[in-house]
Amino acid sequence: MERADLHDEHTVFTRTGEFADRDAFTAAGWCAMERSLEVVGTRSAMMLVREAFYGGRRFDDLVRRTGLAETVASKRLRQLVTDGLMERQPYRVPGARTRHEYVLTERGRSLFPLFVALMNWGATNGAQGGVELAHAGCGEPLLPAVRCGAGHDVGIEETEARLAPFGPRSGEQGR
Partner DNA sequence: CTGTATCCCAGCGGATACTG
Partner DNA sequence: CAGTATCCGCTGGGATACAG
Helix (H/G/I), strand (E/B), else coil: 90:
strand
Element (H, E) at 89: strand 86-91
Of 44 and 50, the one with the shorter C-beta distance to DNA is 44
172 binds, among DNA, its own copies, none (CB under 5 to 8 A by kind): its own copies
Of 97 and 175, the one with the shorter C-beta distance to DNA is 97
Distance of alpha carbon 121 from alpha carbon 113, whole angstroms: 12
Element (H, E) at 103: strand 99-104
Site residues for its own copies, 100-139, by CB under 8 A, read 101, 103-104, 109-125, 127-139
Please report, in angstroms and rounded to a whole number, the separation of the first and last CA atoms in the chain.
36
159 binds, among its own copies, DNA, none (CB under 5 to 8 A by kind): its own copies
| Binding interface with DNA (CB under 7 A) | 42-45, 58-61, 67-72, 74-78, 88, 99-100, 102
59 binds, among its own copies, DNA, none (CB under 5 to 8 A by kind): DNA
> Could you tell me the smallest distance in angstroms from the CB atom of residue 27 to DNA?
15
100 binds, among its own copies, DNA, none (CB under 5 to 8 A by kind): DNA
Greatest extent of the chain over all pairs of C-alpha atoms, in Å: 71
Element (H, E) at 14: strand 14-15
